[in-house]
Amino acid sequence: MIITIASLKGGQAKTTSAVHIAALLGADAKTLLVDGDPNHSALNWHKRKGFPFEVCDERQAVKFSRDFNHIVFDTQARPSHEDLEILAGGCDLLIIPLTPDALSLDTLFSFTESLRQLGAKQFKVLLTIVPPRPATDGLFVRQILEKAVLPVFATDIRRYKAYQKAALAGILVKDVADDYAAAAWSDYAAIVREIFSHSGRGADQ
Ligand SMILES: Nc1ncnc2c1ncn2[C@@H]1O[C@H](COP(=O)(O)OP(=O)(O)OP(=O)(O)O)[C@@H](O)[C@H]1O
Ligand SMILES: [Mg+2]
């Protein structure tokens, strides 16, 4: 399965999502994370040993990709229309992370409109960095997306400090010493279950 993670706006948790989805997929099948961001955030995150997936630069992807069951592609923010056409055409699922705020929502609608013009159908919005209850930001944005008949993952990625700690330490969120590390990890685990339940594939396919 080829999964691409893209958004028009920066800071939507693309790299965080790519790393954690790749780690969960990598538990059952050979998984490659392709770092398509010139800042090389994912490559830097992965510098330590012991990750259950490999990472390579976009320019090495063709060479490596045939050896893997799953490929997760992390991209830079603000892809050009041309980039978007290539990204959308070259994957089984395009995940669009979205933080629940008005500015991000505006850019999401421009993004999904471009996708619609390109005829891309295999995309799904992932609500990320969702403030904890009793805040209702996540619910509010989810209702707007549902009204607009946009596909959205049923699980929210909740906002936890553990993610920043994980990125700083170059480890996965489940391995951070934090009371909420397991809860944070369980959100991405639920997303991967959703991916497989909709694709009809098993984790090793
Ligand atoms: N669920 C979360 N809870 C709290 N903080 C988070 C969460 N997900 C990501 N973050 C933090 O938000 C910031 C942006 O995340 P990330 O780098 O993954 O976004 P990005 O979309 O890849 O950004 P860019 O567009 O710059 O590539 C980071 O500091 C990250 O640690
Ligand atoms: Mg990034």
- pLDDT 10s digits, 66-123: 899 999 999 999 888 888 888 888 899 999 999 999 999 999 999 999 999 998 989 9
Q: Which domain holds residue 178?
A: 2-199
Whole-angstrom distance, CA of residue 193 vs CA of residue 188: 9
User: What's the token pair of residue 146?
Assistant: 């549902």
Whole-angstrom distance, CA of residue 39 vs CA of residue 32: 18
Q: What is the pLDDT of residues 162-194, one digit of tens each?
A: 999 999 999 999 999 999 999 999 999 999 999
| pLDDT > 60? residue 128 | yes
Which residues line the pocket of ligand 1, CB cutoff 6 A?
A: 10-16, 37, 41, 77, 128-129, 157, 159-160, 163-164, 167
pTM score: 0.96
| pLDDT > 80? residue 198 | no
> How many A from CA of 28 to the centre of ligand 2?
25
| pLDDT > 80? residue 195 | yes
Q: Is residue 7 part of a domain?
A: yes
From the alpha carbon of 9, which atom of ligand 1 is closest? 25
Q: What integer best gives the mean pLDDT of the chain?
A: 93
Test site for ligand 1: of 163, 165, 186, most ligand atoms within 8 A of the Cβ: 163
> How many A from CA of 13 to the centre of ligand 1?
4
Q: Is residue 205 part of a domain?
A: no
Q: What is the pLDDT of residues 44-70, one digit of tens each?
A: 998 887 899 999 999 999 888 889 999
Q: What is the CATH number of the domain that holds 165?
A: 3.40.50.300
Q: Is residue 195 part of a domain?
A: yes
Q: What per-residue confidence (pLDDT) applies to 8?
A: 92
Dihedral sign of CA atoms 135, 78, 113, 85 in order = negative
Q: Is residue 204 part of a domain?
A: no
From the alpha carbon of 76, which atom of ligand 1 is closest? 27
Q: Is residue 29 part of a domain?
A: yes
Q: Is residue 129 part of a domain?
A: yes
Q: Is residue 116 part of a domain?
A: yes
Total domains, the chain: 1
Q: Is residue 15 part of a domain?
A: yes
Q: What per-residue confidence (pLDDT) applies to 205?
A: 56
CA 199, distance to chain mean position in Å, is 16
